[in-house]
Amino acid sequence: MQTHRLKSWVESANEPASDFPIQNLPFGVFRRKGAKEAPRGGVAIGDQILDLAAVGLKTGANLNKLAAAGRPGWRQLRQVLLLALSDKTKAKRFSRSLVPMNKAELFLPVAIGDYSDFFTGIHHALAAGRMFRPDNPLLPNYKWVPIGYHGRASSVVVSGTPVVRPNGQTKAPEAAAPTLGPSRRLDYEVELGFVIGPGNRLGQPVSIKHALDHVFGVVLLNDWSARDIQAWESQPLGPFLAKSFATTVSPWIVTLEALAPFRCPAFPRIGEDPRPLPHLTDEADQRKGGYAIGTEMYLQSAQMRARKVAPARLSRCSFRDAYWTPAQIVAHQTSNGCNLQPGDLLGSGTLSGTEPGSAGSLLELTQGGKAPLQLPGGETRAFIADGDELIQRGRCEAEGVVAIGFGEASGIVRPAP
């Protein structure tokens, strides 16, 4: 079914600014606010949620079984939903199963068994590297392998969940010993998360040609980071407690079917950039393996909320600037025989660009805290303060097609215990 001209009988879905037109149809888990009913699967349409039970799909409290169904099943369900939400003769029947989004409670859309975070944003890698290794900012393996680390799945939280400032060990350069206390350099990282669909058996790598068949969809992801804890503990094994206290994701999984019009070429290898090794090379992926997904981060302080001042935009960046594609990430993650499972989460790593305001973290925007940002009302920020709310948004736009969005991934920072 051609979808670019489709309209929905849910009028709010036809508004140009809507994140959830009929061309999107992202999946999530919800229940009515205040209701004792169990959470269940739904699809976002305009400012409403359609209960998936209306089309005969009962999911339970997570979408892992739907994720495991694979692309043929997802496409079939999408066609059913497109027809149900575009055919005006079906409005009376399906309108009974709509729940206003502002009257719904949203949950993590999948039960996340494992979470890996990658480092695909080359401009972030360069900017951060220059702060610590001015003469050699990019480590020698970066252009050969999609670097990543294993994160903490248990602390991945859905948008709206408060984030408690972490305690941890830090050590000042002049100090003789480290101390334990609240992080003073709390940061955000603008990322995307790729939700795994069908898994692979242990010991059986996924080829890059079939890697996207294992990706159910995409969520926004804020990888909260305690930079001072990270600096001390990352010697030599890398991120640990500086990252494991919270990772915020948006509640709606935007499918690859919805993202198809926004595919773009992979990041160009130029000059002396090496060609990826065979397990990471596919000509079709190089031609159209990227995704033009724009994402922004906003900050609203407690003072701004009290004065009803709108959140201030800090960052605006795009997954176009990722050095590695989603297919390359999946292929590499499984290249040693690692088994992925439905609902697993793969983070993109911080997305940064080269234009002013396109850095995906305060570490970059404030030059490590040396150049604080000015907020409306006179406040400044080198790093995140207690009471600050960070709000990540995402959107895809292209000429001749309907724009789609991702909703929000937000969290207010609470003081350390």
Q: What share of the chain is helix, strand, coil (3-state, %, to 5)?
A: 25, 25, 45
Residue 5 lies in a domain: no
Residue 32 lies in a domain: yes
The pTM for the full model equals 0.97
Q: Looking at residue 190, which CATH number applies to its domain? A: 3.90.850.10
C-alpha distance from residue 164 to each of 246, 273, 288 (Å): 8, 41, 40
Predicted local distance difference test score (pLDDT) of residue 116: 98
Predicted local distance difference test score (pLDDT) of residue 128: 87
Token output for 258: 């919805």
| Residues 34 and 148 occupy one common structural domain | no
Segments forming the whole domain that contains residue 55? 11-107
| Residues 138 and 69 occupy one common structural domain | no
Rounded Cα distance between 331 and 322, Å, is 16
Q: Over the stretch 59-84, which tens digit does the pLDDT of each residue have?
A: 999 999 999 999 999 999 999 999 99
Q: CB burial class (10 A; 0-12, 13-18, 19+) of residue 6?
A: middle
Rounded Cα distance between 73 and 413, Å, is 39
Segments of the chain scoring below 70 in pLDDT: 1-2
Contacts of 114 by beta carbon, 8 Å cutoff, 6+ apart: 150, 153, 340, 341, 344, 345
Amino acid found at 367:
Q
DSSP 253: B
Active site residues: 124
Domain count, the chain: 2
Choosing from 53, 84, 107, the residue where a domain stops is 107
| Residues 234 and 363 occupy one common structural domain | yes
| Residues 214 and 86 occupy one common structural domain | no
Predicted local distance difference test score (pLDDT) of residue 2: 61
Predicted local distance difference test score (pLDDT) of residue 1: 56
Rounded Cα distance between 86 and 249, Å, is 29
**290, 322 contact by CB (below 8 A):** yes
Count of Cβ atoms closer than 10 Å to residue 406 Cβ: 27
Handedness of CA 301, 307, 313, 314 (dihedral sign): negative
Predicted local distance difference test score (pLDDT) of residue 132: 79
Rounded Cα distance between 392 and 315, Å, is 9
Residue 1 lies in a domain: no
Contacts of 291 by beta carbon, 8 Å cutoff, 6+ apart: 218, 259, 262, 263, 264, 319, 320, 326, 396
**347, 115 contact by CB (below 8 A):** yes
Choosing from 107, 134, 168, the residue where a domain stops is 107
Q: Looking at residue 33, which CATH number applies to its domain? A: 2.30.30.230
